[in-house]
Amino acid sequence: MIELAAAFAVAGAASNAVGTAFQRKAASTTRGAGVRILAELVRRPAWVVGMAGVIGAAVFQSLALVNGPLALVQPLFILELPFALLVAGPLMHRRMPSWGWWGVGGVVAGLAALLASAAPRGATDQAPLSRWIPVLAVCVGGMAVLILSAGRGRPPARRAALLAAAAATGNALTAAMLKSATGTFADDGFTAFLLSWQTYGFALAGAAAVVLLENSLQAGPLVASQPALTIGDAMVSLALGMFLFGERVRTGWWLVPEALGAVLIIIGVFVLSRAVQRIREPSPAAGAGAGAGAGDH
């Protein structure tokens, strides 16, 4: 079951990277505002491919969460960033910087070391309301504090990082409620799924996280927002998995390789964020519209 969850999570990360990259590609050459943008986008093959990728990612994430612990599934979505870099380069007709491969290697090696050492495990996908109430209070309250701290007038990099951290918290909360809702669907069927409050909770939390992410990307550079988003999602998901679902990780001397793996991931994410930013920037020959399109999630 753990191997199946890991496979679904990696497939979800790849699917979301492809979806986001194609959506950005379509949006980079679109003019208009509001509903007019959507009306134009739905006629573009790139946008349709992008939406299929995003929907596929949601399906894969649901399957992963049904089959494995939150503390395993969400960290694996860090792989979305190297996947996005590999997709965005050819899509935007830009060559990936050679040093970008060091970032790919750092993320992959770090994840392998971290997850192999931590060995996340846990069988339950439900939690009592007595645990959900403090989780909702802390997560929603934390998101509110981060949003208020990112008010206008702050340096762009700080605003981007704070809003991305709020989005990361929203993503982790969404995944926790999605795990509970899909577990209900698997155990009790579609009617029980529709009657579960977590079903509507993950929809609301997911929408809020998307809005926060878009605001983060507009507020400042990707190199400031992406690490906060990627690392924050994994850390909050780990905490939620342990508190809500009783998931466990190895401790003791295993903390040493776990810490080394985490450091490799952090370094790799910073390197990849710079590489993705480089690909997104328009080249003098390509014009202003050619550089927007890498996966940002």
pLDDT digits (tens, 9 = 90+) for 25-57: 766 665 654 456 556 667 778 778 888 888 899
Res. 76: pLDDT tops 60 = yes
Tokens coding 12: 């979800």
Q: What secondary structure does DSSP assign to 227-276, as a single string?
A: HHHHHHHHHHHHHHHHHHH--B---GGGHHHHHHHHHHHHHHHHHHHHHH
| Closest among 113, 17, 106, 100 to 276, alpha carbons compared | 100
Q: Look at 91 and 100; give whichever has higher pLDDT.
A: 100
**Which residues 6+ apart lie within 8 Å of 267 measured at CB?**
103, 106, 110
* pLDDT-derived band at 290, boundaries 50, 70, 90: very low
Domain boundaries, the chain: 70-290
Predicted local confidence at residue 223, as pLDDT? 77
Q: Which of 101-105, 120-124, 140-144, 201-205 has the lowest mean pLDDT?
A: 120-124
3-class DSSP state for residue 121? strand
pLDDT in tens, 138-157: 999 999 999 999 987 888 88
Mean pLDDT across 71-76: 91
- Mean pLDDT over 271-286 rounds to 66
Q: What is the pLDDT of residues 166-200, one digit of tens each?
A: 999 999 999 999 999 999 998 889 999 999 999 99
The pLDDT of residue 297: 41
Report pTM: 0.81
Bridge partners (DSSP) of residue 121 are 248
pLDDT of residue 39: 64
For position 261, what pLDDT does the model report? 93
Q: Name the pLDDT band for 222 (thresholds 50, 70, 90).
A: confident
Q: How far apart are CA 288 and CA 285, in angstroms?
A: 9
pLDDT tens by residue, 230-249: 889 989 999 999 999 999 99
